[in-house]
Amino acid sequence: MPLKAAAKKRSISPSSAPGMPIDAPERRRLPPLLRRCWYNLNQTFRRRIAHVGVTPDQFTVMRTLTEGSPKGLTQRELTDIMSSDANTIASLLERMETLGLVEREPHEKDRRAYRILLKPIGLRKYEEVREIAIGLQTNILSVLPEGKREEFLEHLALVADACRVAAEKTPNRPK
């Protein structure tokens, strides 16, 4: 089934949604939609870049490093920018260092910290995968009218920020 037809098939009339409870089974709900988007996008990207020998998460690290300070970023900065946790980023960086994609250099002011830098092979792999990422994003966003794509991304950024704020305001509860 073509992408646009599948999207229309799953949606309900916008005029009927306002009167429905937010958790009505026939109503679109944010968590499963975000999960479905992320899972399918991640799996598609993973398959398209497998031949390069990097993962989507490694690509995100490489992209973040190329867009960051020329001096490199600390592990803490990477963790924050990628909305991840310190253990996940530490493990990811260890694997990338073993593969020769990144290197750690001592931080100039904090003796406990290191700056993470992209090595030349990491930059080459990033540039190769970047083209694939741009193509995939262009393809996915093509289901939206061209004039609505940036607006959609702006709205998605607002939702992402609202999720972050909600997480920050929610205290950890003992188990």
Q: What's the topology of domain 53-137?
A: Arc Repressor Mutant, subunit A (1.10.10)
Q: Which pLDDT score is estimated for 11?
A: 52
- Measuring CA to CA, which residue among 52, 54, 56, 77 is closest to residue 67? 77
Q: Which residues of 44-68 are buried (b: 16+ CB within 10 A; e: fewer)?
A: ebeeebeeeebbbbbbbbbbbbeeb
Q: Which pLDDT score is estimated for 3?
A: 53
Q: Which pLDDT score is estimated for 171?
A: 87
Return the CA Rg of the chain: 20
For tokens 């530490």, what's the residue? Answer: 90
Q: Which pLDDT score is estimated for 112?
A: 84
pLDDT in tens, the chain (175 residues): 455 554 455 555 454 566 778 778 888 888 889 999 999 999 999 999 999 999 999 999 999 999 999 999 999 999 999 989 999 999 999 999 999 999 999 888 888 888 999 999 999 999 999 999 999 999 999 999 999 999 999 999 999 999 989 988 998 877 6
- Measuring CA to CA, which residue among 71, 70, 49, 57 is closest to residue 125? 49
Q: Would you list the domain boundaries of the chain?
A: 53-137
Q: Which pLDDT score is estimated for 96?
A: 96
Cα 24 to chain centroid distance, Å, stands at: 29
3-state DSSP assignment of residue 72: coil
